[in-house]
Structure 1
Amino acid sequence: MAIPSVTSPEIFQHVRIIMGMVLGLSMTRLLNGLVRIIQHPGQTRIYPVHIGWVLTLLLTLVHFWWWEFWLIGLPTWTFQVYLFLILYAISLFFLSAFLLPDSISDYTGYEDFFISRRKWFFGFFGLTIIFDLIDTLIKGHAHLAMFGGEYWFRVPLYLVLCGTAIYSANRLFHKAFVTFALLYEVTYIVRFFDTLN
């Protein structure tokens, strides 16, 4: 049976639905976790670095949905591109789940939990940086050129920081990393993603 002829924007609308479902699950997990912390502040000791990553990831999820709109101009869609985008969205869900699991009763608080599970979190965070690079290349040379040389500095810097975070439990480093990541994400959005023109 032949598939009817469809345009790239129509395919994008179709793909966007499943991506939205996965991103919706990610945001729900983060928001529910934050509300649980607010509702029961004495139940589990919070850790500012952990909360910083929750806020950074929330902003990243919103940003992801915004920047993926550029895919509407993709001239050709393949199953491989579709599968890649779904895996990218799933990796963001994993990050959400690593930050706010169903229970942390095996730990003394969010600091103990975050430092103990940092290898998983930063391993997947590094993976999303690689996915971002592939995603940017899929969108074409003009899209990549928009970021100038900064992009080729950003990717290896984040990979080095993630690698360091995997192996180091130094609290000062983790505080500096999350502060940098949150502030950089804000400036990155303002400088490059304010409009989709």
Structure 2
Amino acid sequence: MVVSLGIAKLLTGLVGFVQHPTRAKTYGVHLAWSASMLLMLVHFWWWEFRLSHLHGWHFATYAFVVYYAVMFFALCALLFPDNVDEYDGYEGYFHSRRRWFFGLLAFTFLLDFVDAAIKGQGRLLELGIEFPIRNVAYIGLCITAAFVRNETFHRVFAGGNLAYQVYWIHRTYETLS
């Protein structure tokens, strides 16, 4: 349910650009992170689907998954506020909120470690050494992005993130039976 709210927030925001093309100036980095969050939400749902194999669900596990989903919803809400009238379009807005956005995004990669552990040692071994390296690298990049406004860095990070997500999802899930 919370994942659906995040997807709805993103889609409403993106369709708003079509509905009102002159209301607020778009920003490529913001659009890339919006597409990335949409992919992350779909990926999150698929990742959490594996919890159906977990025996002995407890309320704490359920509450953790809901809390994890709430973090993704918060990221979507940060990408698409009710309005950006007080900013010079989405570029000004995005950079004014980048510490919140990238701080929460870094936190989701910490939560990812807990989530993988819930699925068991077998799942952690299946993910291999790339999983912790990926998460630690993302945490570092997010912390950097929170404090650096360099346009080239943000473009490369947003584009590279989107490409890597597609690569990770394809490799990780196209081989599952």
Which of the five TM-score ranges fits, normalised by the shorter chain? over 0.9
Structure 2 segments unaligned to the other structure (5+ residues):
none
Query: 1:196 Cα shift?
Result: 4.3
Amino acid at match of 1:57: M
Partners of 2:57 and 2:40 lie apart in 1 by 25
Q: Distance in 2 between matches of 1:109 and 1:183?
A: 26
3-state SS of the aligned residue for 1:146? Answer: helix
The question of 1:181 aligning with 2:164 is answered no
Counterpart residue number, 2:35? 55
- Which segment drifts farther, 67-76 or 83-92? 67-76
1:130-163 CA deviation, whole Å, 9 max, x = no partner?
1111101110111111121111210110000010
1:33 counterpart SS class: helix
Q: Which runs of 5+ in 1 are unaligned?
A: 1-20
Match of 1:95 among 75, 87, 101: 75
Q: What's the C-alpha RMSD, in Å, of the aligned pairs?
A: 1.0
Residue 194 of structure 1 deviates from its aligned partner by 2.1
Is the partner of 1:75 in helix, strand or coil? coil
Provide the C-alpha distance between the structure 2 equivalents of 1:38 and 1:139, rounded to a whole number of angstroms: 41
Distance in 2 (alpha carbons) for counterparts of 1:37 and 1:55? 14
Equivalent of residue 128 in structure 1, options 108, 120, 135 = 108
Report Cα offsets for 1:13-39 as digits up to 9, x if no partner. xxxxxxxx1111100010000000122
Whether 1:165 and 2:138 are equivalent positions in the alignment is no
Q: Hey, what does 1:110 align to over in structure 2?
A: 90
Cα deviation digits, residues 32-52 of structure 1 (max 9, x gap): 000001221122111000000
Instruction: Give structure 1 regions of 4+ aligned residues with deviation exceeding 6 angstroms.
Output: none
- The alignment's TM-score, normalised by the length of structure 2, stands at 0.97
Q: 1:145 aligns with which of 120, 125, 134?
A: 125
Greater Rg, structure 1 or structure 2? Answer: 1
